[in-house]
């Protein structure tokens, strides 16, 4: 933690420090972790931790707007999460649809364009329709882009990209030696937006968990012990202040 960012500082003070700090990162990505532990600590069912997690999503989006981020990516549901108990998966899908219903108006009013990426064909028809509705509803606004990774796994994404490029080679449309970083990046779900500058993970776990493996090559990483349902805009601002204090070298000196 940098000097001047003690836990007692208010969100407003932290935001002022972010604004004075020389520009926010363009793109922040977040691994939202700890909903289950939060529920356990409060004597609640796991799904109630996810419900509180949804409130933290709302708070984080508002904080991202205040900080002036251009892109915010949230890891909402991983490919591996499909192996959780059926009731938990169903609760997460219900929350997703509830999120669309309760937030889509505010998101549009606040200028947040939502884009959803992942293996969406694995979602139920109603969940898929809900996320498509959210994307359509916010398509015309552009103050900030909120990217939701749903049914997402980075290795699966890279495999799909390689298949796309291999098919182009097989059809004679692409020479193997024309495959470069730009081509690979262009075949990923995230091809239309910049890579994250800052990756935040909550609940203290030091893992990447199959999230944006290609895209975080040069991201700064900030891990906080805060469990996701307790994460608020002050925590986001602290992470950004931590980022602003880093020296980014991109492999140079
Ligand atoms: C990790 O906590 C969190 C998830 C698997 C789901 C994230 C979902 C939300 C924050 C709510 C819905 C979000 C949207 C955008 C509608 P965990 O269950 O792995 O926690 P644990 O490691 O403590 O068990």
Q: Which residues carry out catalysis?
A: 33, 81
Q: Output the CA 197–ligand 1 centroid distance in Å.
A: 22
Q: What are phi and psi of 148, to 5 degrees?
A: -105, 120
Distances in whole angstroms, Cα of residue 253 to Cα of each of 27, 34, 41, 249:
23, 36, 45, 6
pLDDT value for 6: 56
Q: Please check whether residue 97 is in contact with residue 45, taking contact to mean a CB–CB distance below 8 angstroms.
A: no
Atom number, ligand 1, closest to the C-alpha of residue 228: 10
Domains and CATH numbers, the chain: 2-244 (3.40.1180.10)
Contact 100, 134 (CB under 8 A): yes
Structure tokens belonging to residue 108: 């549009």
Question: To test ligand 1's pocket by mutation, which of 49, 54, 76, 117 has the most ligand atoms within 8 angstroms of CB?
Answer: 76
CB of 196 sitting under 6 A from ligand 1: no
CA–centroid distance, 251 to ligand 1, in Å, is 33
3-state DSSP helix/strand/coil % of the chain, to nearest 5: 50, 15, 35
What atom of ligand 1 comes closest to residue 99's alpha carbon? 16
Question: Which runs of consecutive H residues, i.e. helices, occur in 110-153?
Answer: 125-137
Of the CA atoms within 13 Å of residue 50, those in its CB half-sphere come to 19
Residue among 55, 15, 12, 60 nearest 232 (CA): 60
User: pTM of the prediction?
Assistant: 0.95
Which atom of ligand 1 lies nearest, measured to the CA of 100?
16
Per-residue pLDDT 10s for the chain (253 aa) are 444 445 568 999 999 999 999 889 999 999 999 999 999 999 999 999 999 999 999 999 999 999 999 999 999 999 999 999 999 999 999 999 999 999 999 999 999 999 999 999 999 999 999 999 999 999 999 999 999 999 999 999 999 999 999 999 999 999 999 999 999 999 999 999 999 999 999 999 999 999 999 999 999 999 999 999 999 999 999 999 999 999 878 888 7
DSSP codes, 205-217? ----TTSSTTTTT
Q: Is the CB of 97 under 6 A from ligand 1?
A: no
- By C-alpha distance, which of 77, 162, 59 is closest to 116? 77
Residue of 32, 130, 152 to test ligand 1 pocket, by largest number of atoms within 8 Å of CB: 32
């Amino acid at each position: 933690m940098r000097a001047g960012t003690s836990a007692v500082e208010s969100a407003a003070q932290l935001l002022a420090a972010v604004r004075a700090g020389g520009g926010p990162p363009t793109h922040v990505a977040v691994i939202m972790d700890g909903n289950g532990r939060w529920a356990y600590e409060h004597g609640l069912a796991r799904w109630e931790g996810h419900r509180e997690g949804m409130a933290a999503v709302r708070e984080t989006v508002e904080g991202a707007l205040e900080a002036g981020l251009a892109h915010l990516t949230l890891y909402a549901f991983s490919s591996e999460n499909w192996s959780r108990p059926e009731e938990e998966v169903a609760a997460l899908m219900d929350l997703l649809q509830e999120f669309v219903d309760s937030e889509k108006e505010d998101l549009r009013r606040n200028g947040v364009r939502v884009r959803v990426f992942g293996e969406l064909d694995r979602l139920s028809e109603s969940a898929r329709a809900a996320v498509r509705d959210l994307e359509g509803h916010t398509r015309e606004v552009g103050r900030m882009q909120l990217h939701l990774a749903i049914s997402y796994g980075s290795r699966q994404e890279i495999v799909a990209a390689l298949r796309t490029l291999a098919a182009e080679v097989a059809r004679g449309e692409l020479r193997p030696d024309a495959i470069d970083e730009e081509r690979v990046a262009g075949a990923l779900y995230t091809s239309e937006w910049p890579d994250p500058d800052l990756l935040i993970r909550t609940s203290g776990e030091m893992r990447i968990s199959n999230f944006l493996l290609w895209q975080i090559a040069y991201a700064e990483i900030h891990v906080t012990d805060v469990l996701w349902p307790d994460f608020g805009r002050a925590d986001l601002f602290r992470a950004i202040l931590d980022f602003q204090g880093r020296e980014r070298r991109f492999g140079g000196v």
